[in-house]
A and B are shown apart, each in its own frame.
Chain A
Amino acid sequence: DIQMTQSPSTLSASVRDRVTITCRASQSISRWLAWYQQKPGKAPKLLIYKASSLESGVPSRFSGSGSGTEFTLAISSLQPDDFATYYCQQYNSYPYTFGQGTKLEIK
């Protein structure tokens, strides 16, 4: 199985900050990576697919980059609605696997 490791596990930030979350794969997954946002009691929401493609309706302050084994999710100017948990997921090969999550908290 491909292991996905996110860092940090928890991130404290303020509104209007720029933040980045890193996701590392245990082997190359090309650009077959997605990012999701999850709020308590809700289903995950797709933000980014194919490493850097913005899902329709997702604000442009979200961006993704990377290929191979290292990927980044960036939020350019945090809004109150962005405080949530973020997951990366690889779909290069079965079994699909997720990172352990990064909780973005208000400082």
Chain B
Amino acid sequence: QLQLQESGPGLVKPSETLSLTCTVSGGSISSSSYYWGWIRQPPGKGLEWIGSIFYTGSTFYNPSLKSRVTISEDTSKNQFSLKLTSVTAADTAVYYCARLPAEDSFDYWGQGTLVTVSS
């Protein structure tokens, strides 16, 4: 059974960099059948796609965040990661990692991790 687990600091100071890792078990991120993505949800609000990565390393970002976002992968650890620079309180959210079959929707999700931006 595929499982995804987010990890990283739950508190980040304003102007610093948010860094999260998604560890995948029960499947390989090197599969050519899937993309891997990040989605966030501010408290009490809706869902926002941040970006996705393919096993080739190709990345796709939301233009609203593109200047601050980097998604990368470590196939040796079966992990992919999110970095968001210059964070503000508006970046406070639950961050989810998820799997996308090629050209399809998010079929497996991690449980999510709350990241609070505060001094």
A-side interface residues toward B, CB under 8 Å? Answer: 1, 32, 34, 36, 42-46, 49-50, 55, 87, 89, 91, 94-101
Contact = CB atoms under 8 A, between A and B. Distances in A.
A32 B106 CA distance: 12
Interface in B28-63: 46-49, 60-63
B93 to A, nearest CB: 13
A94 B63 CA distance: 9
Which label, helix, strand, loop or mixed, suits the secondary structure of the A interface? loop
B104 A91 contact: yes
A100 B110 CA distance: 21
A86 B46 CA distance: 10
B111 A101 contact: no
A49 B63 contact: no
Contacts of A43: 96, 98, 109-112
Given A46-B105, A89-B105, A91-B100, 10 more contacts: A1-B63, A32-B103, A43-B111, A44-B96, A45-B109, A46-B106, A49-B107, A95-B64, A96-B62, A98-B49
B106 A44 contact: yes
Nearest to A44: B109
A95 to B, nearest CB: 4
Nearest to A96: B49
Nearest to B109: A43
A42 B48 CA distance: 16
Nearest to A92: B103
Contacts of B98: 43
Contacts of B110: 43
B115 to A, nearest CB: 15
